[in-house]
Amino acid sequence: MDVILTQIKAAIDALGPTVLLPIVIFVIALVLGAKAGKAFRAAVTIGVAFIGINLVLGLMFTSIGQVAQAIVTNTGIRRDILDVGWPSAAAIAFGSSVGLWVIPVAIAVNIALLLLRWTRTLNVDVWNFWHFAFVGSLVVAATDNLAYGIAVAAAVAALSLLFADWSARAVQQFYDVPGVSVPHLASAQILPIAIILNWVLDRIPGINKININTETIERRFGVFGEPVVLGLVLGLVLGVIAFYNAGSLDVVLAKILSTGMTLAAVMLLLPRMVKVLMEGLLPVSDAAQEFVRKRTGDRELLVGLDSAILIGHPSAISSSLILVPIAIILSVVLPGNRVILFADLAVIPFIVAMTAPLVKGNVFRMVVIGTVTLAIGFYVANALAPLFTHAAVASGFKLPKDALQITSVVDGFLWVPYVIITAIQWLGVGGIVLLFIVIAAAFAIYRRNSPGWEHAAGADEVEQGTIEVGS
């Protein structure tokens, strides 16, 4: 069995997400009854779209990474817990003992919950199962028990489906992605924090009147408020903060202007790549709805995708760019912090994107919620860094030179692993049992308080904008 799982994992690692996803989509589309030609075209289109998205994201990651490195250098920060970035976290997760089991386990959990009618999300984002394996690998590092790690990975896979169902209506409406949900743990985990903070902000006089969104800016400032120009302006501001002392005037200007143009390109190109993705996804979504309708009436089946499809929205990018220097400032001023950010600052859009539907694109509130979430994340990262480092060493990951411990914003800053691991450390196997009970109760509460949650939203609901997070 281990040999088979090892071969499957090696094949997935070799294919990578941009090849694996189209294959998965093609197979699923055929199973759902789509014609082979349509299924093939949809799969290729989705693969091309994700390649385009990843190219644009790579451009953004490179630019923001350079900005972040320059700002960190300018501040002279020195810390002993180094942010090594999500690619390293993914490699650690898939290289761990839990990583060997996570794909069959997560698929089994998804199928079981679909058959039980507990979820309406079919998670095709197989590559991002590494998030489940990562939490499981931290549990193994804490308990030295593989069974505990696999059980927790299964529980987190279920939790991600709950988050996906819970936020689906709002995500579909705000981001215009029909038939989609986002079972991406790194993005969805902000929702409870965002709901609490949004409630608080609604009750603070003056603050509750502040509404800065990209649509309002565009209406008031015309061409100067368009997303591409907004990206240029934010890029120029970040460039000035980062590169004001980069050398001679011509070098400084070149770096500042390059940053501005790069982020302007990101603001323009990411939404267009998402439109290509939705073009490919539509036949698959239609086939899924027809397949379910023939067997269960009007029950809805959602296609679970990476939150990369969300971060092209101007509000997500704008708030994230503002949060980059804020995150670095937090790393300096937070008492007791030992984490220095580096590789993962560019993934902040993934952290905040799912708050946009809740606050209706209010960039001010997204920044406030993002700031608090990152502040909490620093302390989570400090607490989890020993386990993160232990899991890395156990999976054969080579630590960077001079780094005593390592972390990443994805997934080292997330409260979900911290709460789970703390419960297991206190209660042992009782913590795992409690975790499953809490998740089952959460599913039950969600279903009870969301009448018609299994069924497609009516057109009048969407047009009237009555769908909120959790509906």
Give Cα 29 distance to the centre of its chain: 25
pLDDT in tens, 450-467: 755 566 554 344 333 333
pLDDT in tens, 428-455: 999 999 999 999 999 999 888 775 556 6
pLDDT in tens, 226-252: 778 878 888 888 888 889 887 888 889
Return the pLDDT at 454.
Answer: 63
Return the pLDDT at 218.
Answer: 65
Residue 296 banded pLDDT, cuts 50, 70, 90 = low
CB within 8 Å of 219: residues ≥ 6 apart? 225
Beta bridge partners of residue 180, listed in sequence order:
303
Supply φ then ψ for residue 284, to 5 degrees. Answer: -70, -45
Q: Is residue 285 included in any domain, yes or no? A: yes
Looking at the predicted structure, is the pLDDT value of residue 216 above 90? no
Cα-based torsion angle of the residue sequence 345, 350, 354, 356 in order, rounded to the nearest 10 degrees: 60
Q: Is residue 104 included in any domain, yes or no? A: yes
The amino acid at residue 287 is: A
Looking at the predicted structure, is the pLDDT value of residue 106 above 60? yes
Q: What global pTM score does this model have?
A: 0.82
Full domain range(s) for residue 306: 2-464
Return the pLDDT at 465.
Answer: 34
Return the pLDDT at 464.
Answer: 36
Mean pLDDT for the chain overall: 84
Higher pLDDT, 212 or 147: 147
Q: Is residue 235 included in any domain, yes or no? A: yes
| CA-to-CA dists, residue 384 to 239, 269, 388, 413, angstroms | 33, 36, 6, 8
Looking at the predicted structure, is the pLDDT value of residue 414 above 70? yes
Ramachandran quadrant class, 328 (left: phi over 0; alpha: psi -120 to 50; beta: rest): alpha
41-45, 216-220, 359-363, 384-388: the lowest-pLDDT one: 216-220
Query: Mean of the pLDDT values across residues 167-183?
Result: 89
Residue 30 banded pLDDT, cuts 50, 70, 90 = confident
Number of domains in the chain: 1
| CA-to-CA dists, residue 123 to 8, 113, 120, 175, 426, angstroms | 18, 11, 10, 19, 32
Higher pLDDT, 420 or 4: 420
Return the pLDDT at 16.
Answer: 67
Q: Is residue 191 included in any domain, yes or no? A: yes
Q: Is residue 123 included in any domain, yes or no? A: yes
Considering the chain, what percentage of its residues have pLDDT values greater than 90?
A: 33
Return the pLDDT at 433.
Answer: 95
Distance CA 239, CA 233 (A): 10
Residue 44 burial (CB count, 10 A): 14
Q: Is residue 311 included in any domain, yes or no? A: yes
Looking at the predicted structure, is the pLDDT value of residue 374 above 90? yes
Q: Is residue 471 included in any domain, yes or no? A: no
Q: Is residue 470 included in any domain, yes or no? A: no
Looking at the predicted structure, is the pLDDT value of residue 14 above 80? no
Cα-based torsion angle of the residue sequence 300, 304, 308, 310 in order, rounded to the nearest 10 degrees: 20
Looking at the predicted structure, is the pLDDT value of residue 223 above 70? no
Supply φ then ψ for residue 269, to 5 degrees. Answer: -85, -35
**Nearest to residue 57, comparing CAs of 93, 85, 25, 94?**
85
